[in-house]
Structure 1
């Protein structure tokens, strides 16, 4: 099945006044933090903080990939602003990203364009927004390896990440907007390959799979950010919950919904009442107790999944997400304006082994946290579509 511009369904889980106040206050705090960033450093796209201050130098790990998250935050704030101030900035930041619709140096085209131009198209569809999304999706689709049936990463033509599941939505959307079924087939093929090689039978997930790019034969698994190749890097796992839910929302293929549920159930079982996970569940001596960006991603993913399933089956995912977001909204994680901490969510980690953004704020953590708050506060789950 294809998705409308914004798919919305009322949930059966209601908020009492104290809960609504907690989430609303957290949303306002995030808005204040982001307002300070774009006022003091206009037109910049930081990825992570150093000692709580945004880092503005080039990303030391990957081709710059996080600019869509700051832009997406502006669109989220615009949705709850009648003055037009946030929308004006959201459009300007989106326009700054437009040239990257042809960027073939990254596998994160979806991260760049779904929160930015995708949200713009959802609220004000036009020929311009349509054309940008189509071109961005086609750029992403050119990474497809026909023999291996996967989308490659910037690391190597033989590499794919679980993260790429978060970038196939832009291909599905481009296929829907253009009527090009080949794009839809590419996105689905990659999701099936990921399901086969990056999702384990026990419901855990793999960070990276390697293939022979000439023959397409699968060779091995690996990790860049987890404890080891056979462990469970949790943010990658969160990408999987969200990405397979997105694949189901575009296709109606029950295999993708089953996989999203399997991964979600594993998260809940392994994290339990702690709610916020470490960087890797299998690390016997984690340096830090929490990796809050993984929690933020999975919170929004669970809200998406709850809507896709419907009630009563989806309500348990929604209840868990509410508890998770409430914890992230508390003083242990949420930065406060005036404290000197410039990000929104504390205790996130970008790349543990490379010592990049460790126990800091990261832009995707802030984005998915606010996206989850936005969904909760609207009383329904809203998913970007075409």
Structure 2
């Protein structure tokens, strides 16, 4: 190729990159504008938005506790950092104070989702020592759920409910990988390895016990708390025990990418690449990048899509692309193009949230084909990540 052709090609690549950058900046601006109404309502009502019902009414976070309560404040912190608009900071601070007392809870594993995504961002952005104290208190509460016999943090307490009826003793869900970021952050802040030691043990046990040979994961693994032996491998939110629940695959992808960020241990990078291989090579993975709610749903191609899983995958692949030479950025771009299209993006004044068409739990008949606060969170995170990557 002569010098002229090389120069033309490079010029086209620069123009294309600038156009892509401009599109994502526009999407960020539109996202901020779209969420203005929800911000005003949440501050006025002093309530934490979670979803919308079929009548178009806002569904607020459950009381007295909701595993999603950190996502909306986290979204507000991201928009504050991007725009400098104090109203986003006020909204984030106001709403996260509603659940600050949950930092000491020891009966649930979702303290990472809740506190790292909100108070963690607050501390990183503001440097306020109070936010750091809340973050570390939550990390201390979370590690109490670690069982050294199992090598994992217990996900759900088993009481007189649907878990105990299935005979579970020590259930661990693939989602729990996401809560490890809180522990890695706590060790980074304090220099104390007690938090990251638990995170690494959990990540290693999950890698050994949760995944099939093809790189797909089970949703739930139930352990014997005394011996650490596996009692069963099952699902709670997927189509079947042996199916690949889409958001579960996304949690695994994101989780091991994050583990590599903190440890630089290549086995986590290779695990994220293996999970990526399963997703991208699966015959039921759509070309537009947004997965069906389960890779083995029986009614594909008419099965519901899960925008939340798509957003998580996009955000994870943008980060993974920085560590791997396998080139995941185009896959992330494809997902963001699809999620930003009229099919998935809320655009009217009645659309309080950014994204439509997420799936909470079909087996439980819960939050089916609705907006979800965590879908918006990871979509926005992905847009911010890809915009920074283009700089």
Determine if the TM-score, normalized by the shorter chain, exceeds 0.5: yes
1:7 is matched with which residue?
none
Aligned to 2:212: 200
2:139 corresponds, among 125, 137, 140, to 137
CA contact (8 A) 2:288 2:338 kept: no
The corresponding residue for 1:299 is 314
DSSP-derived class of the 2:67 partner: coil
Query: What's 2:276 paired with?
Result: 264
Q: Given the alignment, which residue of 189, 192, 214 partners 2:226?
A: 214
Match of 1:372 in 2: 382
Distance 2:170 2:84 in 1: 48
Q: Distance in 1 between matches of 2:339 and 2:148?
A: 41
Structure with larger Rg: 2
How far off is 1:13 after superposition?
9.2
How far 1:363 moved relative to its partner?
Answer: 0.8
Aligned to 2:10: none
Q: Which runs of 5+ in 2 are unaligned?
A: 1-12, 159-168
| Mapped contact 1:48–1:350 kept (Cα < 8 A) | no
Q: CA–CA distance in 2 between the matches of 1:255 and 1:234?
A: 22
The aligned runs of 1:86-97 (5 Å cut-off) are 86-97=88-99
1:70 corresponds to 2:80: no
Aligned partners of 2:17 and 2:390 also within 8 Å: no
Contact 1:45-1:66 within 8 A present in 2 as well = no
Choose which of 47, 51, 59 in structure 2 pairs with 1:55. 59
The aligned residue for residue 26 of structure 1 is 27
* RMSD of aligned alpha carbons: 2.2
Shift in Å at residue 90 of structure 1?
Answer: 2.2
- Aligned residue pairs total 363
Judge which range, 321-330 or 372-381, deviates more.
372-381
Q: Which runs of 5+ in 1 are unaligned?
A: 1-11, 382-386
Contact 2:76 2:92 in 1 (8 A): yes
Residue 195 of structure 2, aligned match among 168, 180, 183: 183
Scaled by the length of structure 2, what TM-score is found?
0.87
TM-aligned CA deviation for residue 63 of structure 1: 5.1
What is the CA-CA distance between 1:94 and the residue it aligns to?
A: 3.1
Q: Is the 8 A contact 1:207 1:223 kept in 2?
A: yes
Q: Residues 185 and 233 (structure 1 numbering): CA distance in 2 closer, same or farther, change over 3 Å?
A: same
Structure 2 Cα separation of the partners of residues 261 and 252 of structure 1:
14
Could you tell me which of 334, 337, 341 is aligned with 1:330? 341
Whether the 8 Å contact between 1:38 and 1:44 is mirrored in structure 2 is: no
Q: What whole-Å deviation, never above 9, does each CA across 1:199-232 have from its counterpart, x for those lacking one?
A: 2111111100000122221111111111111110
How far residue 322 of structure 1 moved from its aligned partner, in angstroms, is 1.0
Could you say which structure has the greater relative contact order, defined with CA pairs below 8 angstroms and 6 or more residues apart?
Answer: 1
Separation (CA, whole Å) in 2 of partners of 1:288 and 1:357: 15
Aligned partners of 1:53 and 1:341 also within 8 Å: no
| Aligned CA distance change for structure 1 residues 291 and 13 (closer, same or farther; 3 Å) | farther
1:103 partnered with 2:105: yes
Query: Residue 54 of structure 1 contacts residue 343 of structure 1 at CA under 8 Å; is this kept in 2?
Result: no
In structure 2, the residue corresponding to 1:167 is in which secondary structure? helix
> 1:16: how far off?
3.7
Which stretch of structure 1 is more off in the superposition, 371-380 or 18-27? 18-27
